[in-house]
């Protein structure tokens, strides 16, 4: 089924490394979502929840890679919607429906998480002795978003590499890296409320991007990742200044000069 002779070619190893890097980049948003959702579990179950979430993501990705023909078929139109402001009917595919549902869910979940943080409801739950969310409810949320992120990951892989075995190895390697560092990323996000809020804002942006892709409006992901990286660098600089304990800079009022 798989031709391993391709690994004798240097181009295959270049493709493997490139795709592995791309899968890690595309998986960061998945780690952030899993870390934030799993944080609602009791502390002793959070590491287990993250591991289960990432392993489910790996299973979905490998399963989808073994169903490449089905994935390609999802781009075919299921039905058409006649919008009066369009010159021709709008074709809706299975991929569009998945991206739309996933994008809306991601925006909804991120917005409710921001509401919870601002209202202090999470702390109230801990103090009031209310029940934590069950592991199953958290896993179901992870499954929903894993499916969406898996489609994005697989479509990227199909565009870069032709060999399914190379794709599977790249996904496994990327997931191994994410499993190794998921605890560090989750701990950093959860220890810093401003980073957590920034991460939730990123997820809203990603959800909106998925909705736009469902509407056949492609948004260059490089712009999104640049905005995320720039915002993160600014916040890291702010955190460093706060640690130094410096007083905030005050602007001079020219009226008193």
CB burial of residue 182 (10 Å; 0-12, 13-18, 19+): buried
What is d(CA 53, CA 101) in angstroms, rounded to the nearest whole number?
Answer: 19
**Residue 140's CB: how many other CB atoms inside 10 A?**
10
| Under 8 Å between Cβ of 54 and 73 | no
Q: What is the pLDDT of residue 92?
A: 86
CA nearest to 28, candidates 234, 147, 206, 249 = 206
Three-state SS at 79: strand
Give the residues across from 93 on adjacent strands: 77
**pLDDT at position 124, please?**
44
Residue 127: predicted pLDDT: 43
pLDDT given at position 7 = 67
Q: What is the pLDDT along the chain (257 residues), one digit of tens a residue?
A: 556 666 677 777 887 788 788 777 777 777 888 888 888 788 788 888 888 888 888 888 788 777 766 766 677 778 888 877 777 888 888 878 888 888 888 888 888 888 877 776 554 444 444 455 677 888 888 877 777 777 766 766 666 666 778 888 888 888 888 888 888 887 887 777 788 888 888 888 888 888 888 888 877 777 777 887 888 888 888 888 877 665 555 545 444 45
The whole-number pLDDT of residue 107 equals 87
Token representation of residue 10: 């240097």
CA distance 118 to 110: 12
Contacts of 95 (CB under 8 A, 6+ apart): 74, 75, 151, 155, 214
Pairing verdict, β 90-93 and 77-81: antiparallel
* Model pLDDT, residue 78: 80
């Amino acid at each position: 089924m798989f031709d391993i002779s391709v690994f004798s070619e240097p181009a295959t190893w270049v493709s493997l490394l490139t795709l592995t890097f791309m899968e890690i980049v595309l998986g960061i948003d998945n780690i952030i979502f899993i870390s934030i959702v799993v944080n609602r579990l009791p502390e002793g179950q959070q590491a287990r929840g993250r591991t289960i979430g990432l392993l489910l993501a790996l299973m979905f990705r490998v399963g989808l890679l073994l169903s490449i023909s089905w994935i390609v078929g999802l781009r075919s139109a299921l039905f058409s919607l006649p919008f009066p402001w369009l010159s021709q009917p709008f074709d809706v595919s299975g991929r569009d429906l998945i991206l739309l549902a996933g994008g809306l869910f991601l925006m909804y979940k991120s917005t409710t998480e921001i509401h919870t943080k601002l209202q202090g409801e999470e702390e109230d739950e801990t103090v009031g002795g209310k029940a934590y969310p069950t592991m199953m409810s958290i896993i179901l949320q992870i499954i929903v978003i894993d499916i969406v992120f898996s489609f994005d990951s697989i479509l990227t892989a199909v565009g870069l590499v032709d060999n399914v075995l190379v794709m599977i190895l790249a996904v496994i390697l990327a997931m191994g890296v994410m499993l190794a560092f998921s605890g560090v990323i989750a701990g950093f996000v959860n220890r810093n409320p401003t980073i957590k809020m920034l991460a939730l804002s990123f997820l809203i942006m990603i959800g909106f991007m998925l909705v736009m892709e469902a509407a056949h409006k492609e948004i260059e992901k490089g712009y999104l990742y640049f905005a995320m990286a720039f915002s993160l660098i600014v916040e890291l600089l702010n955190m460093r200044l706060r640690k130094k304990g410096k007083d905030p800079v005050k602007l001079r009022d020219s009226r008193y000069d």
